[in-house]
Amino acid sequence: MMKTLKRLGNIITNNFGLKLLSVGLAFVLWVIVAQISNPVGTVSFSNVQVTLINAEQLEAQGKVYQILDQTDVVKVTVRAPESVISTLSASDISAVADLSEISEDGTVPITYSLDRAERIIADHDELLINVDDKKTKYVNIQYQLIGEVGEGCVQGVVKLARNRLEISGPASAVDRIAYALVTIDLDGAIKTISADMEIYLYDATGNRIDNELIVKQTDYVTTTVTVLSTKKVPVYASVTGEPSNGYIYTGDLYVDPEVITIAGDTSVLNGISRIDITDPVDIGSAKNDITATFDLTKYLPSGVEFEDKTFDGEVSVTAYIEKMLEKNLTISPDALLLHDIPEGFNAEIVGTEEINVRLVGLETELNAVSSESLTGIVEIDSYLTANNITDINDGDIVTIPVKFNLSDHVKADAVYVRVQLTLVEEDV
């Protein structure tokens, strides 16, 4: 046995230098062959995403962070055999930043790793972040309208499903937000608009703020804009009472404005032809023009509003009062028409050749009446019936009032004429 071991040792140590050289040459040859068959190369990836860990530790402290200068995206060059390179993608490279290791200057080291790679070279090895306190607040949601509704229509009430919005994020960013805004396009609209409108954030000077770190309670709000049809209608008023003695209401009632434009659903407007002020103007005992003011909104039908949003609904109504004037005229009995003569009788006015008439009324209308134009009517049978006069004999004379043909604003004092009734002679 000893001889065998000695013999084996001699084999190993005999020409040991040459044998060691042979082993070295064999290794070099193997490396050369390996390089030839599977050479080492490099490949670059410009979109390697850095994975963040332990972010919840910042959140637990009421903090939020913002990555600066896009340092969470890295360009990486990998040195590895071609057989490895040919199978690589950016997702194979591990780039990790542990936020629990953040330094006072806001940097976090990035650790790179890749199996089978000889070397990894990155364009930066630190993540830059800004850490801020987390803040939550509410802002009002406003709206702005652009464009015009279709012809013959008007924009009505605007309603938002919510008028306040909760936002949260870095305190420095949240503090800049003054209000939220939705924009509603009315261009050519002829019917009510209802849609979910996107909400944008603005600072106090009207600049839009787009910050992905600010979280909104919702990105959209349901917005409804009523679009109404329009129609022009007159406004009507009335009077009550009588002016003082010696004065008269001219019948002229001035309404300002006398025509208004209303807005509402077409089906409602189709049933409206006028707006009536149902409370009359009181002209009782008046000696001068009476003006009253009304709030027209009280008289609008349900579902109807004014087209003009600036119109407060105030309407003034003026009733014109004038002092009555007097005019005396003399007319012939021929100016009177004997009407409704009892059957079997003739009738004529007797006992006078002229009739004096005293008129009172508006100057303009009195001026239009003259002795030549004034006419009247004597209704005989109607008078007899009303006064139960049934026994009429040939030659009877009856005193009957005259009804004059006058305008509404001219009145005549009572005038009576004597009418003689005679039997109609029968033909022999």
Q: How far apart are CA 46 and CA 339, in angstroms?
A: 116
Give the pLDDT confidence score for residue 33 in this predicted structure: 47
Give the pLDDT confidence score for residue 325 in this predicted structure: 92
Using the predicted structure, report yes or no on whether residue 223 has a pLDDT greater than 60.
Answer: yes
Identify the structural domains of the chain with CATH numbers, from first to last. 40-124 (2.170.120), 133-229 (2.170.120.40), 237-322 (2.170.120.40), 326-423 (2.170.120.30)
Among 5-9, 49-53, 285-289, the minimum mean pLDDT is found in 5-9
Q: How far apart are CA 33 and CA 31, in angstroms?
A: 5
Contact status, residue 404 vs residue 375, Cβ threshold 8 Å = yes
H or E element that contains 321: strand 314-323
Using the predicted structure, report yes or no on whether residue 309 has a pLDDT greater than 80.
Answer: yes
**Could you tell me how many helices (H) and strands (E) the chain has, helices first?**
8, 33
Among 79-88, 286-295, 343-352, the minimum mean pLDDT is found in 79-88
- DSSP letters of 173-185? HHTT--EEEEEEE
Give the pLDDT confidence score for residue 22 in this predicted structure: 61
10-50 residue pLDDT tens: 555 565 566 566 666 655 554 444 445 457 788 888 889 99
- Torsion angle of the four alpha carbons 229, 234, 238, 243, in this order, in degrees rounded to the nearest 10: 150
φ/ψ (deg, to 5) at 388: 55, 35
H or E element that contains 226: strand 220-236
Q: What mean pLDDT do residues 241-248 have? A: 92
Q: What mean pLDDT do residues 101-105 have? A: 89
Residue with tokens 């972040």: 129
328-377 residue pLDDT tens: 999 999 999 999 999 999 999 999 999 999 999 988 899 999 999 999 99
**When comparing pLDDT for 174 and 24, which is higher?**
174
Q: How far apart are CA 132 and CA 118, in angstroms?
A: 39
Tokens of residue 139, six digits: 């802002």
Among 19-23, 72-76, 178-182, 185-189, the minimum mean pLDDT is found in 19-23
| Distances, alpha carbon 122 to alpha carbons 24, 40, 113, in Å | 36, 18, 11
H or E element that contains 295: strand 290-295
Computed over every residue of the chain, the mean pLDDT equals 89
Q: What's the DSSP call for residue 335?
A: G
Q: What mean pLDDT do residues 163-192 have? A: 94
Using the predicted structure, report yes or no on whether residue 408 has a pLDDT greater than 90.
Answer: no
Q: What's the DSSP call for residue 25?
A: H
Q: What mean pLDDT do residues 266-282 have? A: 95
